[in-house]
């Protein structure tokens, strides 16, 4: 995957070739060794596992070669649930977190007093452990025999019915997971977007102001296009990150995610390897490659769109 390393090979015409090429490879050797050993080899291995049917890791034997692993995974209701959960998570959290981050960054950019303080406060969740944040969310949302949890108390205050967010209906659990994910990814996005906003030169705004441009028009015609490369960066990495979500769900719902109906694709892979129902590296490999295919496709689409839209 890291073919970019290949591109850094010197290709100058000034000094003719072989010796220089050899030297370049020599310099690259440590990186190639490490990457080959820890990245390329495992990747190839995963690919092989995914086509070996009935593979047994203890005896290192398998029954045959074929696509059964894929077909099993694609027909496994747990996997389908995990795919559904992951997609919901991606579709909700990426736009919501990016949009929220943009709003907050715009706010941070427009205040003058205590700007640094606010920036620090908004960045704090980034340096907080996700499991610790998960615990806090549990306290906020979990129903126990003694209390309904903070959020339910609030809902009750406004006359609503209390909801079990951790062990209750699927939509409630999904809501908590999305809320949690947005909360966790927000600080980084705010950081990126505040610096992107700050890097837009004041002259552009002054020019627009002299020409009588309305605030909304300044935002859509100047600010947004100017920071669009950063927004695309955040959307692409956001998609990838959300597709790979796992620890967030564990932090909220514990390790038995299948039972909670809250599993993600990565969670499914993990369960297939080490979970209670685990010990099936072939299924895990097939699921991992399916995830890879999904992420790859989405990223290619994203890049294609961003190339067309972010023009300069």
Partner 1 sequence: MKVTLRELTKEFPSRNKKSKEKVVAVNNFTFEIPDGKLVGLLGPSGCGKSTTLNLISGLEKPTRGRVFFGEEDVTDLPPEVRGVGLVFQNYALYPHMTVLQNILFPLQNLKGDKKLTKEQMLQKANEAAKLVQIGELLERRPSELSGGQQQRVAIARALVKMPRILLLDEPLSNLDARLRLQTREELRRIQRETGITTVFVTHDQEEAMSISDMIVVMRSGVLEQLGLPQDVYDDPENLFVAKFLGTPPINVFAGEVKNGGLYIGKQRVLSVRGAGDGSVTVGIRPEGFIPREGGALTCGLTAVEVMGRDTSVVCTHPNSLNSGIRAIISSESRHGVGGDTVSFDLKPSKVHLFGVVNENRIRAELTPPESEAGA
State yes or no: residue 116 binds partner 1 (CB under 8 A). Answer: no
Question: For partner 1, which residue of 206, 220, 277, 297 counts as binding (CB under 8 A)?
Answer: 206
Which residues, other chains included, contact 131 with Cβ-Cβ below 8 Å and sequence gap of 6+? Answer: 247, 251
State yes or no: residue 213 binds partner 1 (CB under 8 A). Answer: yes
Q: Hunting for tokens 């991606």 — which residue is that?
A: 90
State yes or no: residue 214 binds partner 1 (CB under 8 A). Answer: yes
Of 34-42, 168-176, 216-224, 259-267, the window that binds partner 1 (rule: CB under 8 A) is: 216-224
State yes or no: residue 226 binds partner 1 (CB under 8 A). Answer: yes
The two structure tokens encoding residue 97? 């977190």
Q: What is the dihedral of CA 194, 195, 199, 200, to 10 degrees?
A: -20
Question: For partner 1, which residue of 125, 168, 225, 279 counts as binding (CB under 8 A)?
Answer: 225
State yes or no: residue 217 binds partner 1 (CB under 8 A). Answer: yes
Question: For partner 1, which residue of 23, 209, 215, 307 counts as binding (CB under 8 A)?
Answer: 209
Q: What are phi and psi of 61, to 5 degrees?
A: -120, 160
Query: Which secondary-structure segment (H or E) carries 260?
Result: helix 257-260
Smaller CB separation from partner 1, 206 or 277 = 206
Please state the closest distance from residue 282 (CB atom) to partner 1, in A.
Answer: 49
Which residues, other chains included, contact 302 with Cβ-Cβ below 8 Å and sequence gap of 6+? Answer: 232, 235, 236, 239
Smaller CB separation from partner 1, 219 or 296 = 219
Question: For partner 1, which residue of 127, 158, 210, 216 counts as binding (CB under 8 A)?
Answer: 210
Question: For partner 1, which residue of 77, 211, 216, 308 counts as binding (CB under 8 A)?
Answer: 211
Burial of 254 per CB tally in 10 Å (0-12, 13-18, 19+): middle
Give the CA distances from residue 14 to residues 9, 20, 25, 60, in Å, rounded to whole numbers and listed in that order.
Answer: 14, 11, 18, 52
Contact 251, 134 (CB under 8 A): yes
Distance CA 256, CA 145 (A): 22
Please state the closest distance from residue 217 (CB atom) to partner 1, in A.
Answer: 7
Of 40-48, 150-158, 175-183, 213-221, the window that binds partner 1 (rule: CB under 8 A) is: 213-221
Burial of 283 per CB tally in 10 Å (0-12, 13-18, 19+): buried
β-bridge partners, 61: 56
Smaller CB separation from partner 1, 32 or 208 = 208
Smaller CB separation from partner 1, 126 or 233 = 233
Of 100-108, 139-147, 219-227, 279-287, the window that binds partner 1 (rule: CB under 8 A) is: 219-227
Which of 241, 226, 240, 217 is CA-nearest to residue 193? 226
Please list every residue from 156 through 195 that binds partner 1, using CB under 8 A: none
Smaller CB separation from partner 1, 12 or 113 = 113
Please state the closest distance from residue 201 (CB atom) to partner 1, in A.
Answer: 7
Which residues, other chains included, contact 296 with Cβ-Cβ below 8 Å and sequence gap of 6+? Answer: none
Please state the closest distance from residue 215 (CB atom) to partner 1, in A.
Answer: 11
Please state the closest distance from residue 100 (CB atom) to partner 1, in A.
Answer: 24
Binding site for partner 1 (CB under 8 A): 201, 203-204, 206-214, 217, 221-222, 225-226, 228, 311-312
């Amino acid at each position: 995957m890291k073919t970019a390393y290949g591109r850094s090979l010197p290709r100058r015409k000034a000094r003719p070739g072989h010796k220089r090429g050899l030297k370049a490879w020599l310099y690259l050797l440590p990186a190639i060794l490490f990457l080959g050993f820890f990245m390329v080899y495992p990747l190839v291995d995963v690919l092989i596992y995914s086509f070996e049917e009935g593979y047994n890791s203890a005896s290192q034997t398998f029954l045959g070669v074929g696509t059964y692993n894929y077909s099993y995974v694609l027909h496994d209701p747990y996997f389908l649930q995990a795919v559904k959960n992951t997609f919901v998570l991606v579709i909700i959290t990426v736009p919501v977190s990016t949009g929220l981050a943009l709003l907050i960054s715009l706010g941070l950019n427009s205040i003058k007093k205590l700007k640094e303080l606010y920036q620090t406060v908004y960045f704090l969740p980034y340096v907080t452990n996700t499991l610790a944040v998960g615990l806090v969310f549990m306290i906020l949302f979990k129903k126990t025999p003694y209390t309904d949890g903070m959020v339910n108390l609030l809902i009750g205050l406004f006359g609503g019915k209390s909801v079990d967010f951790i062990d209750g209906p699927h939509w409630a659990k999904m809501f908590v997971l999305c809320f949690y994910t947005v909360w966790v990814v927000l600080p980084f996005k705010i950081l990126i977007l505040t610096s992107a906003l700050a890097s837009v030169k004041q002259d552009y705004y002054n020019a627009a102001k002299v020409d009588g441009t309305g605030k909304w028009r300044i935002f859509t015609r100047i600010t947004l296009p100017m920071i669009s490369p950063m927004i695309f960066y955040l959307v692409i990495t956001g998609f990838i990150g959300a597709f790979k979500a796992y620890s967030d769900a564990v932090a909220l719902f514990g390790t038995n995610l299948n039972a909670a109906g809250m599993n993600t694709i990565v969670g499914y892979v993990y369960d297939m390897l080490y979970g209670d129902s685990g010990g099936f590296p072939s299924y895990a490999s097939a699921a991992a490659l399916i995830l890879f295919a999904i992420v790859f496709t989405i990223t290619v689409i994203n890049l294609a769109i961003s190339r067309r839209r972010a023009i300069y």
